[in-house]
């Protein structure tokens, strides 16, 4: 998909800047962001990642958005906490794009598009019995059960249209209109040693992911409905709360995106990791190990 081309000068209520010239929520300036951005949900995971940097250049914090930018080998890397959910992804990806593709002084879209590498390192629950707790999978596709991408003008690819058509014929909830976007093929190839599939992105952790505590779920068979879907060349693999939005906005804005999922639960086996922190750390290390391959893309 071609990135958005918009010659309009954005007014101050659309592109909001802080008094120091940084973007509103992330509190970042263009020079403080690297071309490769690791996205983590939990702010506490930012220093877990930046601990592997050879040098730390930038440390910024505002609300749940913490950014560390530094150097790892010959690469400059940023790691940013997004918080939880697709509403936060809407903020983070739009402001990251503004930092590299809008002149913040003139509020004009730049004539030359700049592409970021966006790699999510997140936690997730497996939706297949053979995907072990404490393992790691990558998202070939993100299936959104939220509404975020319906507020944008998007285009679908033939492969995602076909898969989404198969899903819609088998999975139907009256109030949902799912959307589907693919990972960047070059990033997916870089992580080809990992198992992959379709990651389902929900707009909540409890009812929207089929969990029941005291409030009764409207669709208690949600997991059964999802795991029963039969697809030609892939399968539903896991449930979380960000991937589909990252993929959709990255495609819309012309960036590369990949989601790497630490499996800390298996919803089919009804198991949860005994040491989720170690699983997350192992996943971080796997991503760090593969990052030098970006220079060959």
Give the integer Cα–Cα distance in Å for 236 and 271. 18
Return the CA Rg of the chain: 19
Q: What span, in angstroms and rounded, lies between the C-alpha atoms of 37 and 78?
A: 5
Q: Record the tokens describing residue 273, joined without a space.
A: 């990791």
Angle at 70 between CA 65 and CA 71, to 5 degrees: 150
Give the tens place of pLDDT for each residue, 114-170. Answer: 999 999 999 999 999 999 999 999 999 999 999 999 999 998 899 999 999 999 999
Q: What is the full DSSP assignment across 170-233?
A: H---TT---EEEEPPHHHHHHTTTS-EEEEEE-S-SSGGGT--SSSPPS-TTHHHHHHT---SS
| Whether pTM exceeds 0.85 | yes
Length of the chain: 297
What is the Cα–Cα distance from 263 to 128, expressed in whole angstroms? 11
Where along the chain do its domains lie?
Answer: 30-296
- Predicted pLDDT of residue 7: 47
Fold adopted by 30-296: Rossmann fold (3.40.50)
Q: How far apart are CA 180 and CA 19, in angstroms?
A: 38
CA distance 26 to 22: 8
- Token readout for 103 is 């002149």
What local confidence, expressed as pLDDT, does residue 4 receive? 54
Q: For residue 257, what is the enclosing H or E element?
A: strand 256-266
Pick out the chain residues at pLDDT < 70: 1-11
């Amino acid at each position: 998909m071609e990135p958005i081309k918009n010659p309009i000068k954005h007014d101050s209520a659309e592109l909001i800047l802080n008094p120091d010239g940084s973007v509103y929520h992330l509190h970042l300036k263009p020079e403080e962001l690297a071309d490769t951005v690791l996205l983590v949900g939990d702010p506490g995971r930012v220093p877990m990642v930046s601990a592997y940097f050879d040098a730390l250049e930038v440390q910024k914090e505002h609300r749940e958005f913490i950014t560390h930018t530094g150097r790892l080998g010959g690469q400059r890397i940023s790691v940013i906490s997004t918080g939880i959910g697709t509403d936060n992804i809407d903020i983070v990806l739009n402001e990251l794009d503004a930092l590299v593709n809008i002149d913040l002084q003139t509020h004009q879209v730049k004539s030359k598009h700049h592409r970021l590498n966006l790699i999510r390192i997140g936690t997730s629950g497996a939706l297949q019995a053979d995907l072990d707790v404490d393992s790691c999978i990558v998202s070939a596709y993100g299936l959104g059960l939220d509404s975020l991408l319906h507020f944008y003008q998007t285009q679908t690819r033939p492969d995602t249209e076909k898969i989404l058509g198969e899903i819609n014929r088998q999975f139907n909830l009256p109030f949902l209109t799912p959307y589907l976007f693919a990972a960047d093929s070059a990033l997916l190839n870089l992580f080809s040693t990992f198992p992959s599939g379709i990651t389902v992105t929900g707009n909540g952790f409890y009812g929207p992911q089929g969990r029941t505590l005291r409030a009764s779920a409207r669709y208690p068979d949600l997991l059964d409905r999802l795991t029963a879907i039969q697809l030609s060349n892939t399968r539903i693999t896991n449930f979380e709360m960000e991937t589909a939005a990252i993929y959709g906005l990255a495609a819309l804005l012309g960036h590369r995106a990949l989601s790497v999922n630490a499996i800390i639960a298996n919803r089919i086996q009804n198991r949860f990791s005994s040491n989720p922190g170690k699983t997350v750390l192992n996943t971080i290390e796997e991503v760090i190990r593969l990052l030098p391959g970006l220079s060959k893309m």
